[in-house]
Structure 1
């Protein structure tokens, strides 16, 4: 595998930003690790972080590099700070950045496919919300999306982090509107006639976000979305996510 940290300038944010990228390498001599690479443009997993983390966290807390080595896919892990993947009411346009600018920048640096069937998005907590937000608002771009312990109900974010909520959304009306409300975005998607991404959702039964996840699960199933849902013992912690990102990788339509 090749692991690259990219620092670059975002025109949308007016900031220097970072992302980590894992690229496949055909190197059968690597000790204790299978690897795979081809000559075509790469299938890509956009892997999103949670509220308190950054682009480095998946590499520091899980064995994601080892898990993807035999799959022959690229993994793009960007930083979005504490933005909730939103165009902030009092801050930067992180939604425009993550949905428009970041994919174009990544494809300009690396041989990543832009075909829908080759692109997937996943994340944990705030990143699980971001993954479903991208998939529901841009279903023509992603074949599959996975949320691990997703912070899917943005209204609940107000109760836990009111200062952040006010900076990001400003008002409940903005949080409840598209593109921020993934419940509403899911409804719009089912009525649109557009292709619907494959969906995976999991949450630990001891997680403080468990009820939010079951509420979204019930909403998605009522809408008839192709959601695969799993739950079991687990809290909001990295042991759970390290185990379940392996489940996601096995589930992806590669």
Structure 2
């Protein structure tokens, strides 16, 4: 409890000391060779972007039914956050129901390759970034929360920190929802695929302390129980992580505030010594 209170006080103090400067937003088109198509993304740059040669980057993923512009249109506080915390935010388009997997069923859905490899390379080539996992983090909401942890667990050479907001961190209780069967095949016919593509079954990939983790879910969210289960499994395996719950449902009333906590966590990760 004291940790949560301290974290919130830190957030309020940082936000209260805002610079008053204005971030800039680029809407860019990136090419995925894996999917043979152009994909849009939003890049939010701090007002002082030209003052430094390297900036850490947070990749921020949208949820099912969303798109690349969701975060900038529905959480306007992100513009102030990049100035306050000194970072870039990249919001890619994850398609409709991709779950950020490389689908074994549909070759048109290779979003693991796109986000973890193609997009990161493109951003590093076009922006002044820290080209190392010490300067890269990834998080997202709902489908994007699942995607952020899934990608970070599997690509710990790319991302040094990862988060999830209201994430679908165990897909197995929802075999008929959100196009997952379209990407994996049905759970009844392809149970092994489902077991291997759900975040909660990837904890064997983690070494304690190797990946900084923050997980957040509202107590009225339909993903609350799977997040509680993930938290318990991380504790059992002695995997350090920050875990926060508070009243809230699976909606945009919850996520803008959740994002501020996540970005403060990433800021502290980027500024960690050693």
Q: 2:57 aligns with which of 9, 28, 44?
A: 44
Shift of 1:59: 0.6
| Runs (5+) with no aligned partner, structure 2 | 1-22
Tell me, in whole angstroms, the C-alpha distance in 2 between the residues paired with 1:215 and 1:77.
Answer: 28
Q: How many positions carry a matched residue from both structures?
A: 238
Task: Report whether the alignment pairs 1:217 with 2:236.
Answer: no
Deviation at 1:156, TM superposition (A): 2.7
Shift of residue 105, structure 1, vs aligned partner: 1.3
CA distance in 1 between counterparts of 2:51 and 2:174 reads 42
- Residues of 1 paired with 2:160 and 2:195: CA distance? 26
TM-score by length of 1: 0.88
Q: Which runs of 5+ in 1 are unaligned?
A: 27-35
Question: Following superposition, which runs of at least 4 residues in structure 1 exceed 6 angstroms of deviation?
Answer: none
SS at match of 1:155: coil
Displacement after TM superposition at 1:37 (Å) = 6.1
Distance 1:139 1:15 in 2: 26
CA contact (8 A) 1:38 1:72 kept: no
Which of the residues 100, 111, 121 maps onto 2:117? 100
Residue 15 of structure 1: which of 26, 34, 37 is its match? 37
Correspondence for 1:201: 215
Contact 1:204 1:231 (8 Å CA) reproduced:
yes
Q: 1:198 to 1:131 in 2, by over 3 A?
A: same
Cα distance, 1:165 vs. partner? 1.9
Structure-2 residue corresponding to 1:58:
71
- Is 1:151 aligned to residue 164 of structure 2? no
Of residues 187, 195, 205, the one that matches 1:176 is: 195
The alpha-carbon deviation at position 247 of structure 1 amounts to 1.1
- Offset of residue 92 of structure 1: 2.2
| Counterpart position of 1:29 | none
Given that 1:37 and 1:72 are in contact with CA atoms closer than 8 Å, whether structure 2 keeps it comes out as no
Matched, 1:5 2:27: yes
1:72-98 residue CA offsets vs partner (Å, 9 max, x unmatched): 211111001120001121242121111
CA contact (8 A) 2:213 2:242 kept: yes
Q: How far apart in 1 are the matches of 2:200 and 2:151?
A: 13
Q: 2:18 maps to which residue?
A: none
- Normalized against structure 2, the TM-score is what? 0.82
